[in-house]
Amino acid sequence: MADVPGIARQLTMGCFFFKIMTEKLKVPSPKKIKKSKYTHCQFRVRLGARKSAYMMYRGPPVPNVVGLTAKQAVRRITHNCPGLRCAVIRPDEMQTMCYVSNRVCLNVNRYNKVVRAPQIG
């Protein structure tokens, strides 16, 4: 019976210590956290819109180079439109579906002649 008050004292001290520690490590509930003005999706859309407006090609129109060799077509396009990059796509190569506004795709045949009108993207 002499040990019972000692155990009770240790339990009360333990509870007191636990209460102090939990108050120090208290994490705010999600309801109390300040909500930002924009949601994550809105922020992504805003950044994407800004980036695409920056990357838009606003130069002169791409010249028609159907029938020329790939080398001549690249030379003519880079001379008339210096902001564009030319990508020569052979008949057995896969074409990327990624849209880049400063890239011109030139589709050539096996004789290295441009067969389709150049397209930006």
pLDDT attached to residue 24:
57
Domains delineated in the chain: 58-120 (3.30.10.10)
Greater confidence (1 vs 65) lies with 65
| 3-state SS track over 35-86 | CCCCCHHHHHHHHHHHHHHHHCCCCCCCCCCCCCEHHHHHHHHHHHCCCCEE
pLDDT of residue 110 exceeding 70, the answer is yes
Structure tokens at 59: 């130069």
- Residue 72 in contact with residue 65, Cβ under 8 Å? yes
- Residues 6+ away with beta carbon under 8 Å from 96: none
Between 2-6, 38-42, 79-83, 101-105, the lowest mean confidence (pLDDT) is in 38-42
Q: Output the CA angle 103-121-52, nearest 5 degrees.
A: 95
User: Tens digit of pLDDT for each residue in 20-77?
Assistant: 555 555 665 666 556 555 554 444 444 444 445 556 677 778 888 999 999 999 999 9
